[in-house]
A and B are shown apart, each in its own frame.
Chain A
Amino acid sequence: MNAANSSQWLQPAFNNPVLDAQASFRTALKALSEPGLLQPMDRALALGNLQPATYALCLAFLDGDTPLWLAPCFDTPAIRANLSFHCGCPIVAERELALFALLDEAGAADLSAFDNGSERYPDQSCTLLVQLDALSGGEPLRWRGPGIKDVRSVELPLAPVFWQQRQARSAFPRGLDAFFAAGEQVIGLPRSTRVLLNAEEAA
């Protein structure tokens, strides 16, 4: 049966499921409350091409109530088997149904159809988990909003199309929250953060 075939892919997850999941969740909250600051997320090991921080976010967030959408590069038997086993999350093919989306840099260029919540339930939007090669080295952008004193400069290596799409899907309180993960670090970007794309917006 299905379980018998997929069990060969299984790997251990958190060493201490309760404490590690709580610590990772707490770090994720901290990342969202201080957008743009690097936070350590090192409680998990890598899984296939999922880096430790990305896998830790998955283990901390996902459970049976959180449908997940996988970008094609993460849609491997090993990742499917381990997320199903350790998180029990349903993996969906339709973006509209997903509460979490696991994206790579290429996947982050297309945010169409992810649920950005409703006026009544903005919390039911899809949260993006974006794995990048690094969390710096891109074009510096200035972030402004709750959790940031004045302006914070963040250099995520993302194509401009991501920022345009994020802007297009944002109609506060509706919008998409995102986490960017690389190696064992994570940066949060809540929907309340304004990313200043050009000079005149700074004024």
Chain B
Amino acid sequence: MNRNLLHSDPHIAARQRWMCVLARAGNGLAAYESALKETEYSLIRAPEIGMTLVRGRMGGTGSPFNLGEMSVTRCVVRLTDGRTGYSYVAGRDKQHAELAALADAHLQGVEQPHWLSRLIEPLAAAQQHQQAAKAAETATTQVEFFTLVRGED
């Protein structure tokens, strides 16, 4: 994740980081389902699928344009002690959204270090590994052009 996008408040930045990992976790969260659902919780907003407009800027600085729409699933849960967890994840996986919201709720409590080390760190490491592997695979297809003699010299 781009460090410039993180909030200046360290608490918010930490939450941004774990929400970012949770949103990318996909079905990696399924392994933690029983642990996440150990405590009782209620669905404030049951997982629901919707559309969102993705906008971009050419070269990062041009004027904004509408890239297209993508499907997004969102969910809000509340644990019995009143903590609420939110999630917005790309795609149509309702289970992923519910588990990500649950994880967000757990991560805001006193057991935060436990969940960080047990859930977020392994997922983040796996995602980083996956990204590096993909980058390495892509790098093998790179073609470098160079000229030995340039005309103006």
Contacts and interface: CB of A to CB of B under 8 A. Distances in A.
Interface stretch (B40-48, B58-66, B125-133, B142-150): B40-48
Interface stretch (A9-17, A52-60, A122-130, A167-175): A9-17
Contact of A10 (B46, B48, B84): B84
Dominant secondary structure of chain B at its interface with chain A: strand
B76 interface: yes
Nearest to B42: A12
Contacts of B46: 12, 17
Contacts of B42: 12
A8 B43 contact: no
Residue among B78, B82, B84 with max Cβ neighbours from chain A (10 Å)? B84
A11 B82 CA distance: 10
A147 B88 CA distance: 46
A88 to B, nearest CB: 12
A8 B82 contact: yes
A112 interface: no
Contacts of A153: none
Contacts of B48: 17
Interface string A11-42: 11100010000000000000000000000000
Determine which residue in A7, A8, A11, A86 has the highest number of CB atoms from chain B within 10 A of its CB, and name it: A7
Contacts of B76: 10
Nearest to B78: A10
Given A10-B44, A12-B42, A85-B44, 6 more contacts: A8-B84, A10-B76, A10-B84, A11-B44, A12-B43, A13-B45
20 contacts: A7-B78, A7-B84, A8-B82, A8-B84, A10-B44, A10-B76, A10-B78, A10-B84, A11-B44, A12-B42, A12-B43, A12-B44, A12-B45, A12-B46, A13-B45, A17-B46, A17-B48, A85-B44, A85-B45, A86-B45
